[in-house]
Each structure stands twice: as C-alpha cells, then as structure tokens.
Structure 1
Amino acid sequence: MPTLTTSAADAVAQIPDGATILIGGFGKAGQPVELIEALLDHGASDLTVVNNNAGNGEHGLAALIGAGRVRKIVCSFPRQSDSQLFDERFRAGLIELELVPQGNLAERIRAAGAGIGGFFTPTGYGTLLAEGKETRMIDGRGYVLESPIRAEYALIAAHTADPLGNLTYRKTARNFGPIMATAATHTIVQVSNVVPVGQIDPEVVVTPGIFVDVIVDLHQTGLGNGVPTDAYTSGKVSA
C-alpha cells in the first residue's frame, strides 16, 4: 500500500546525497516540478539524474542543476535554446554528461524494469558512443551492447491515482513515467487527482500500484486540478 501525502517535502526527505534518480518528463511535459523543487529545498547533492534532457529555463530540473546538486546527468538532449544553466556548468567542468540516444535511453530504462541484463542495438555503432562497449555483427549489421539503467528513486508525474497506487497519465505527459516507475527501487509520483479505489477502469491503468511507493496529491495542496474525494479514508495517509 503506497503512502498518500500532500507534502512533496516529506515525499523526498528520504533521498540521500549521492543517489541516482530517474526524473520523468519530455522537456516540460510531464516533469514532476513540485517534487524537483522539494528535492532542491531538501538539499540532497552529488546526485546522478537520468532525464530526457538537461533542464529548461531556470525552473525544475534546470534549477536543480544550476544549484550544483547534480554531479552527473544521463540524457539524450543536453542542449537547447534555454539550457543555459547546464551549459554553464558543463563548460566549467562542474557536471558530468553521459549522452544516450533517446531510443537507447528509453530501452535501457525499460530493460531494467523488465529484468533484462542488456540488449544489442545498432544505434551508436561505429561512433564515439560505442567506445568501450561490446560490439557484435548480427546478420551483417553492427550492434552495440547497452546495459540497463536502474535507480534508487524515480520522481514522476501522473494525472490520476487511486490509493492503491494505480496511475493514469494525460496525453504526452505520460512519456518516461511508466518505464521509470518499474526501474526504480522507490517510486514517488505527484498527481493532479486522487480518486477512490474502483473509479479507475483496470483496462486503462498504465502503471500498476505495485510499482508506486509514495503518492503526492497536488489537488489537496491547491496545485492540482482534480476533484476532492474521500480517497484519504481509503489508503495509508500522511498529511
């Protein structure tokens, strides 16, 4: 039974220095901003962060990077027009970058959740990204062996949850959240709406509750857009 809380600060308080964290989001879409801001306030440092990119503007993940809390970023798109905070720290040698093609990034995370020990992919073969990795010719085509990406924690955003932890997402905000939830030891999710058990059709559940440890109900804090429910009487509650 996941913990249901209205406090993002309490949800991330357990994250220690040096942790590896999967953070959902495709740019700003689906980024768990409130959880990231709580992590920033919490003060954890020397973090390894896995995300699609290296932050946008000066909020969310970008703010975490700009504050010097991230030692290493694993991502596909480290630079865009508003990635100035990452760019400054990278050029100064203050943050490490592991560049991973987007398809490889998604599959490496998915492989961790599925219990797969590794996989061969043609993406990156013959480039600098393949240096130091096992390669193999399969049916006349070059492939690179890629390893799973696991983490102690995942911070993700979903649209609706029930007290059992079952999750649904809204359109493109879904992106990396479902696979990250399966690849982390502890998954913390912020949601816009919590509904009583039974209100989510089992056929539309994207992330089963078995993968969720903590639910932060943003609606109860005034940040979500859901409908007040009696969900707090149905689950383990921390308010």
Structure 2
Amino acid sequence: MIVVKQIYTDTADITADIKDGSTILVGGFGLCGIPENVIKALVDSGVKDLTIVSNNCGVDDWGLGLLLEKKQINKIYASYVGENKEFERQVINGELEVELVPQGTLAERLRAGGAGIPAFYTPAGVGTPIAEGKEVRTFNGKEYVLEHAITGDVSIVRAHTGDTYGNLIYRKTAQNFNPMIAAAGAVTIAEVEHLQEAGTLDPQSIHTPGIYVDRMIEAVQENRIERRTVKEA
C-alpha cells in the first residue's frame, strides 16, 4: 500500500529531532537546488558537531555557509569549496576537518550508499594524495583505487515538484546531487517548491520515488545566484 507522507508546515518541526554529531547529506549544486529553508532551520536549532556531505559548502552568507558561520560543522566531505572565505579561514586555522573528493567519485559514493553497495573501484585519484592509505588494484592493466560508499543519518533535498506520496521531480541542475542524496540517508527530508496531490505527477518524470522520502515541507525559496557574471556594456 502506498502511504501519504507526513507533511510539515514548520521547518523547525521537521528538523527538531536532528541531534548533535549527526551526519547530514545535503543536496544541491552550488546554490542551485539546495534545501535552503531546512538549512536555516538547522542554523536556528543550534545543532552542532555536524558532519556534512555536499558538493560544496555554500557561500559566506547563504546555504551551508550559514552553518559554517555559526561553527556548527565539524567535518565536511565536498568536491568544490572555492566560493566561501569563512570555509578557507576555518580550514587554515584548524577549526574544520575537510575531505576533498573528486566530484564524480563523490556522486558515486553517494549513489552506492543509496544502492546498498559498500565500495567500488575507480581510476580517479590513482597516484595522487586522494589514494593515500587506500587499497589500489589493477584491472586489465589499469590501476583503480577502492572508495567506500557514503550514507548519512539524515538527507535533506530540494525538489521543484513533489506529491503527497513523496515522489519528487528536480529541475535542471538540481538533478546533479539531489537524487543520489535522497536515497542515501536513513531519514530523508524533502523541501518542495510545489506540492501536489498524489497521483497528479507523470510517473515517467519522477526522479526520486516516494519510497525514499520520509518527511516533506512546501516552502518558498529565494533562488540566490552563487556568482553573477554580466557582459560589460
């Protein structure tokens, strides 16, 4: 039987049971497709010592950068961190532990976590510091490094459209990390721009089936731009 998901109206309620020391997987690509309202609720909750897994860490005044500003993050796994000066400051001062992961490897580690695959071999990072301390094997004359899957206590994602069964549709670039992150958390929270009644979505357009989603909230996003580049007149 398909069950209608628990729909929240307050982001403070949807994050109320997230504990200090949790590992949180956060969807988005730059500032595109980030669950910005749920992130703000985490900031307001004061939860700390978090391990964050995300493609990047937002900017200084938005997204995961807000958690950084309050020093609520203890460690982060990410593939790109170049837009955040506070991130740089905390790393240099030894206040933040960072594991930089090649972007494709990060996506696959999350996908593997959601699929129940414990580890896999990849050529990315062989012969670099990324491979130090990891098993390296040769297949068909080429070296591959063993990478372990990533799972989390909580996944937070943002979808353009969802229904009350928990089915989600992401828009354009937001498809990059949200789908695999939605599948890799023990509990998945979906922030949805447009929430519709069950049965109204085209099944062939669904990116995340509702089986992966535990909690939902409809929320308006600001859709900030990470870096605005304009042509000179």
Q: What TM-score, normalized by structure 1, do the two folds share?
A: 0.89
CA RMSD between the two structures: 1.2
Contact 2:57 2:64 in 1 (8 A): yes
The CA distance in 2 between the partners of 1:137 and 1:121, in whole Å, is 11
Q: Secondary structure at the match of 1:38?
A: helix
Q: Secondary structure at the match of 2:55?
A: coil
Question: Residue 160 of structure 1 corresponds to which residue in structure 2?
Answer: 161
What is the one-letter code of the residue matched to 1:191?
V
The CA distance in 2 between the partners of 1:85 and 1:22, in whole Å, is 20
Shift of 1:60: 1.5
Contact 2:37 2:221 in 1 (8 A): no
Unaligned stretches of 5+ residues in structure 1: 226-239
The CA distance in 2 between the partners of 1:52 and 1:8, in whole Å, is 23
Question: Residue 57 of structure 1 corresponds to which residue in structure 2?
Answer: 60
Question: Residue 206 of structure 1 corresponds to which residue in structure 2?
Answer: 207
Question: Residue 86 of structure 2 corresponds to which residue in structure 1?
Answer: 85
The CA distance in 1 between the partners of 2:23 and 2:44, in whole Å, is 18
Shift of 1:176: 0.8
Q: Secondary structure at the match of 1:30?
A: coil
Q: Secondary structure at the match of 1:136?
A: strand
Question: Residue 12 of structure 1 corresponds to which residue in structure 2?
Answer: 15
Q: Hey, which bits of structure 1, 4+ residues long, moved more than 2 A?
A: none
What is the one-letter code of the residue matched to 1:103?
G
Q: Secondary structure at the match of 1:88?
A: helix
Alignment of 1:5-154 (within 5 A): 5-78=8-81, 80=82, 82-154=83-155
Q: Secondary structure at the match of 1:129?
A: helix
Q: Deviations over 1:4-48 (max 9, x none)?
A: 012111111111000000001111000111110000001110000
Contact 1:217 1:224 in 2 (8 A): no
What is the one-letter code of the residue matched to 1:15?
I
The CA distance in 2 between the partners of 1:48 and 1:134, in whole Å, is 24
What is the one-letter code of the residue matched to 1:127?
T
Q: Secondary structure at the match of 1:178?
A: helix
Contact 2:25 2:154 in 1 (8 A): yes
Q: Secondary structure at the match of 1:172?
A: helix
The CA distance in 1 between the partners of 2:185 and 2:30, in whole Å, is 21
The CA distance in 2 between the partners of 1:55 and 1:28, in whole Å, is 6
Shift of 1:55: 2.0
Shift of 1:57: 2.8
Shift of 1:54: 2.2
Unaligned stretches of 5+ residues in structure 2: 223-233
% identical aligned pairs:
46
Contact 2:158 2:191 in 1 (8 A): yes
Shift of 1:224: 5.7
Q: Deviations over 1:100-149 (max 9, x none)?
A: 00000000000011111211000000111101100001111110000000
The CA distance in 2 between the partners of 1:173 and 1:126, in whole Å, is 32
Question: Residue 194 of structure 2 corresponds to which residue in structure 1?
Answer: 193
Q: What TM-score, normalized by structure 2, do the two folds share?
A: 0.91
The CA distance in 1 between the partners of 2:28 and 2:206, in whole Å, is 19
